[in-house]
Copies of this chain bind each other. A is one copy, B any other.
Amino acid sequence: NTASETKEETKLPKVASAPEVTNIIEPHKGLNQPPVPLKMERVGENEVNVEMTSQITDIEISKGNMYKAWTFNGEAPGPVVVVKEGDKINFTLKNMDPSIPHSMDFHAVHAAPSKDFIDVMPNESGTFTYPANKPGVFMYHCGTKPVLSHIANGMHGTIIVMPKDGYPNDGEIDREFVIVQNEWYKYNDLDDMTNGVPTNVVFSTKALKEGQLNTNGTASGLVDTPLIAKVGDRVRIYVNNVGPNEVSSFHVVGTIFDDVYIDGNPFNHMKGLQTVMLPASGGAVVEFTVTKEGNYPIVTHQFNHATKGAVAILKVTKD
């Protein structure tokens, strides 16, 4: 009986195979810029300086499958940015890409896109200032044309704007995680990105504090290295589906979301959800309790996507 089961499982599509020929543009060949840490400095009660890079960095999407990603700060998704409701953001993009312009579109801010989200030329820097006056879990991404190529090649991430008055249950939260869902397509293949199905759909986690786990969007990263909680913990996840193309049906196996805030705004309160629907670019804050020790898989319940990598494990231990 076990034999037939094993045979069946070997039919799993090989999602990890590296393409023989890739579409790497000439100036990116051989380029692998080491990740540059996000720079963030609070310069006033309601003002922060944020400096990020656009750069070309190899990401191992799955075992042996290297993707020469277009990234923010050498991560894909990029590092999480956390500010407070009411902050003015002074943002600098340092474009380390030798050949392609890049830009930054923060969904968290009010800005004139044609001025504040404009292209920064190769080897140049651009500085922009805008307010983040709505709380929530927002996507950011490169907005340079063709936008789909820039997002799908890795230029996406999450900015959290913490609500001025917090979330209703802030005092009861034992653990907080950020989880980002993104898709990967054939390397820099705009036709596949436009008309195909994703090669991989993946999760990553991003560190809210120094020393916390911080990963790229890979097919098994959060299965090989699980997130950790303790029995009885109330867990909060800031979740964001950065696409570029697919919606997400975000679900944690073995529990039910006690409280959900759509796009992370405290006003958009739902209770007792098994699964939260995330549009492309959509976010949420979800809170739940883990009552017994064991492993709790986290998935998009669009199971073709879970099969392609969108699974994380939350490991719950007794002490």
Contacts and interface: CB of A to CB of B under 8 A. Distances in A.
A108 to B, nearest CB: 8
A99 interface: yes
A38 interface: no
A267 B256 CA distance: 14
Interface stretch (A2-10, A49-57, A86-94): A2-10
B113 A4 contact: no
A36 interface: no
Contacts of A271: 265, 267-268
Number of copies: 3
A8 B99 CA distance: 11
Contacts of A194: 13, 304, 307-308
A99 B305 CA distance: 27
Most central of A115, A272, A297 by chain B CB within 10 Å: A272
A154 interface: no
Contacts of A306: 147-148
A214 interface: no
B197 A277 contact: no
A319 to B, nearest CB: 15
A313 to B, nearest CB: 9
A217 interface: no
A113 B256 CA distance: 13
